Structure 1
Amino acid sequence: MTVTVVVGRLGRAHGIRGELAVEPRTDEPERRFAPGSSVVCGGRRLTVKTARPHGQKLVVRFVEVADRTEAETLHGKIIEAEVPDDEIPTDEDAFYDRQLVGLTVRSGGADVGTVRRVDHLPGQDLLVVRTPTGEVLVPFVEALVPEVDLDAGVVTVADVPGLLNPGQADEARD
């Protein structure tokens, strides 16, 4: 059985032949975007024809994307790869969304919520955390999420006033 994992976000069309800038969201871009590999984008399967580095991004051409006009329709879409449901990332600091969803969020030594989902935005990923007062968004960066302990089922979030309870930020300014 397979599941999908986010491996990138499509940027602007690059050139006139249907190439696209891709912001990788994987620690294995050379594997996920190797010529001949396939990805899923908006329910559509795409086959990588070519991929080359371009600064912090990749420029990728897909077999199924014929020209710039078609490439422009894909701008901003998430790219996913199908992986076996028991596969986990090889990098110890990388996680699939399915590993994070449902984990307890702990801050300042107290359990404060649960990871509901991971949102993949252009600038960074966000943990959507369900707390007793509602959902909050936590940037999934090491400074704010210093530890993920899958064995314990806990994500540690920095104890920053207002991060998990926006009302606290207002109180801290007063």
Structure 2
Amino acid sequence: MRVVVGRIGRAHGIRGEVSVEPRTDEPERRFAPGSSVVSGSRTLTIVTARHHSGRLLVRFTGVDDRNAAEALRGLLLEVDIDPDELPDDPDEFYDHQLEGLEVRSAGEVVGTVTQVVHLPAQDLLLVKLEGREVYVPFVTEIVPVVDVRGGFVEVADVPGLLDPDGADVVPTDEG
């Protein structure tokens, strides 16, 4: 099973380094020199990883110049894990743990998590409701409870979040 551990950003310098936005609480483990990550069908072996000005900079085998580094920009990086492996941090979850969970809001079952979408700014849960799907920001304020063992996530009862027709309409002054 694969889990996302990072996304490649801009090239850094002229020797093939790239910035990596970690999507793991264990960047020192996942990006250790000699370890490998996967992007699609391509396996990338880490030569060096270091922190510089608050960013993680990584260099991969065979990526020796800025052009090669720029060609990697935007790629998601994944690692293969045992499906039973759990993150060390109890507030972290692997995608496969969330997919299939029941979604509850205001005490009622409203849908199912079908996918975790990784975006640069934040992750989203794709939730299948009756006859449609909605994206829910996967942040504590919106998803305050994740109970993997119980099989559900709790989504805050925010007007318009799960039901666009339930959003408050603010009248505008036209003058």
* TM-score computed with the length of structure 1 as normaliser: 0.94
Quick one: which of 141, 147, 165 aligns to 1:149?
147
SS in 2 for 1:84: coil
- Once the two structures are superposed, what CA deviation does each residue of 1:47-80 show, in whole Å capped at 9, x if it has no partner? 1111111344311001131211111111111000
Structure 1 position 162 matched with structure 2 position 166 = no
Indicate conservation of the 8 Å contact 1:103/1:154, yes or no.
yes
Structure 1 pair 55–108 and aligned structure 2 pair: CA distance change class (3 A): farther
Q: Provide the alpha-carbon RMSD of the alignment.
A: 1.2
- Once the two structures are superposed, what CA deviation does each residue of 1:58-117 show, in whole Å capped at 9, x if it has no partner? 110011312111111111110001111221111100000000000000011111110000
Aligned to 2:132: 134
User: Counterpart of 2:61 in structure 1: which amino acid?
Assistant: V
Q: Cα distance, 1:133 vs. partner?
A: 4.1
Structure 1 position 67 matched with structure 2 position 69 = no
- 118-127 or 47-56, larger mean C-alpha shift: 47-56
Quick one: which of 7, 10, 13 aligns to 1:9?
7
SS in 1 for 2:81: strand
Aligned to 1:99: 97
Aligned to 2:35: 37
Number of residue pairs matched by the alignment: 171
Query: In terms of Rg, which structure is larger?
Result: 2
Aligned to 1:87: 85
Q: Sequence identity of aligned pairs in percent?
A: 61
Indicate conservation of the 8 Å contact 1:13/1:19, yes or no.
yes
SS in 1 for 2:34: coil
User: Counterpart of 1:110 in structure 2: which amino acid?
Assistant: E
User: Counterpart of 2:12 in structure 1: which amino acid?
Assistant: H
Distance, in Å, in 1 between the alignment partners of 2:81 and 2:21 is 19
Distance, in Å, in 2 between the alignment partners of 1:84 and 1:28 is 16
Distance, in Å, in 2 between the alignment partners of 1:106 and 1:56 is 37
- Once the two structures are superposed, what CA deviation does each residue of 1:111-164 show, in whole Å capped at 9, x if it has no partner? 111000000000010000001141111111111010100111000011100111
Distance, in Å, in 1 between the alignment partners of 2:147 and 2:57 is 35
Indicate conservation of the 8 Å contact 1:23/1:56, yes or no.
no
SS in 2 for 1:113: strand
Structure 1 pair 104–10 and aligned structure 2 pair: CA distance change class (3 A): same
Structure 1 pair 56–113 and aligned structure 2 pair: CA distance change class (3 A): farther
User: Counterpart of 2:22 in structure 1: which amino acid?
Assistant: P
SS in 2 for 1:88: coil
* TM-score computed with the length of structure 2 as normaliser: 0.93
Quick one: which of 10, 19, 22 aligns to 2:20?
22
SS in 2 for 1:135: strand
Structure 1 pair 12–113 and aligned structure 2 pair: CA distance change class (3 A): same
